[in-house]
Amino acid sequence: MVTLKQIAEELGISITTVSKALKEYPDVSKKTRKLVRETAAMLNYKPNSFAVNLRTKESKTIGLIIPEIVHHFFSSVIKGIISQAEKKGYLVITLQSNESYELEKKQIDLLISKRVDGILISLANGTADYKHISEVLNQETPLVMFDKIAKVIKCSKVTIDDRKAAYKATQYLIDIGCKRIAHFRGPLLPQNSIDRFLGYKQALTDNNIIYDSSLVYLLNDMSFDEGKFYANQLLKDHSDVDGIFINTDLVAIGAISEFNNQGIKVPEQINVIGFSNWFMASVISPSLTTINQPGFEMGKNAFKLLYKEIKDKKKKKVINYKNIVLETDLIIRESTKS
């Protein structure tokens, strides 16, 4: 690597003068500054970011841990985060936990060892213990949770009101005349899975529809194949179901695919609502009615909160945690009756 000393020797000037020239100090003449910049470019000089980081006590990097990179929602979140991070000169180290608690812990340790300035995280489905998160906060490393969070951890968070959104979806099924409404829910641990189930259940209660636990199917992988499998199981168990609220679009698309294969007409025989508003939701036939989850906005807001905490820490200000709850809306398409 080319050093300041090599540039100084090339031009016959001091290292201090080279350093000042590259930083555009006014006490170095314009002619010298221009000559230093041209020589640095010719020698392909790159600033030593490690040395800069030691001096400023900033790495200009943040860590991002998400359950799945290929998930449409999380890819939108990543775009939102990077759109803001680039404006502030930050590099984003993106890691995928694969819904694994053990891997998530290792990734937290890795990011801390890399001395990132802050961490953004959406928890894995398998995370039930939060000691690794508490340790990050105890070390005074800024951390912001988004989407899948832990309510017991005191830190800034960016979420949607999952319970309200699920209630809205279930209420719509009731409003169009559905009487027997099933729910494909996510695993037991993530808070958003719990809240979507509770929203579904509350909507039934508020409309004097008796809750039937046999109409709730617990999924683990939240995959296309699981959607197909449980759609088939639902038809065997409850042929009278006329509506179904599904935890995520990928599962809902799998369910619609299975209904199509078995000649079950959607929405004439069964109405289907998903969650997230994936791109595929608009191109499957029939197109999927779904809750629009603002991933890009979630990413933007998460980074802004983290950036403020990083700056407040540097200024030795007290960090005030904030909770941002973003609005969702129901996108009505062909999988539900008008």
Question: Which pLDDT does position 126 carry in this prediction?
Answer: 85
Residue from 304, 305, 314, 303 nearest 63 by CA: 303
Question: Which pLDDT does position 49 carry in this prediction?
Answer: 59
Question: Quick one: tokens of 142?
Answer: 């800024």
Q: To 5 degrees, how large is the angle CA 35–CA 36–CA 37?
A: 95
Question: Which pLDDT does position 54 carry in this prediction?
Answer: 53
Question: Which pLDDT does position 46 carry in this prediction?
Answer: 82
* 288 within 8 A of 250, measured Cβ to Cβ: no
Residue from 50, 60, 157, 155 nearest 116 by CA: 60
The radius of gyration of the chain's CA atoms, rounded to the nearest angstrom, is 26
* 255 within 8 A of 272, measured Cβ to Cβ: yes
Contacts of 32 (CB under 8 A, 6+ apart): 13, 17, 21
Residue from 247, 124, 146, 128 nearest 195 by CA: 247
Q: Which CATH superfamily is domain 162-293 in?
A: Response regulator (3.40.50.2300)
| Residue 160 CA: distances (Å) to CA of 26, 96, 304, 323 | 50, 22, 17, 10
Residue from 175, 244, 179, 235 nearest 210 by CA: 179
Question: Which pLDDT does position 52 carry in this prediction?
Answer: 55
Contacts of 266 (CB under 8 A, 6+ apart): 256, 259, 260, 272, 286, 334, 335
**Spatial distance between the Cα atoms of 74 and 293, rounded to a whole number of angstroms:** 10
Question: Which pLDDT does position 58 carry in this prediction?
Answer: 76
Question: Which pLDDT does position 51 carry in this prediction?
Answer: 59
Domain ranges of the chain: 4-47, 57-160+295-327, 162-293
- Residue 86 carries which DSSP code? G
Which CATH number is 57-160+295-327 given?
3.40.50.2300
Low-confidence ranges of the chain (pLDDT < 50): none
Question: Which pLDDT does position 194 carry in this prediction?
Answer: 94
Residue from 100, 138, 88, 140 nearest 118 by CA: 140
DSSP E strand stretches across 97-168 = 118-121, 143-146, 156-160
Residue from 223, 221, 219 nearest 234 by CA: 219
Q: Is 247 helix (H, G, I), strand (E, B) or coil?
A: coil
Question: Which pLDDT does position 71 carry in this prediction?
Answer: 76
Question: Which pLDDT does position 335 carry in this prediction?
Answer: 98
Judge whether 57-160+295-327 and 162-293 match in fold.
yes
| Residue 242 CA: distances (Å) to CA of 27, 73, 203, 232 | 78, 28, 16, 14
pTM score of the predicted model: 0.82
Q: To 5 degrees, how large is the angle CA 39–CA 44–CA 50?
A: 110
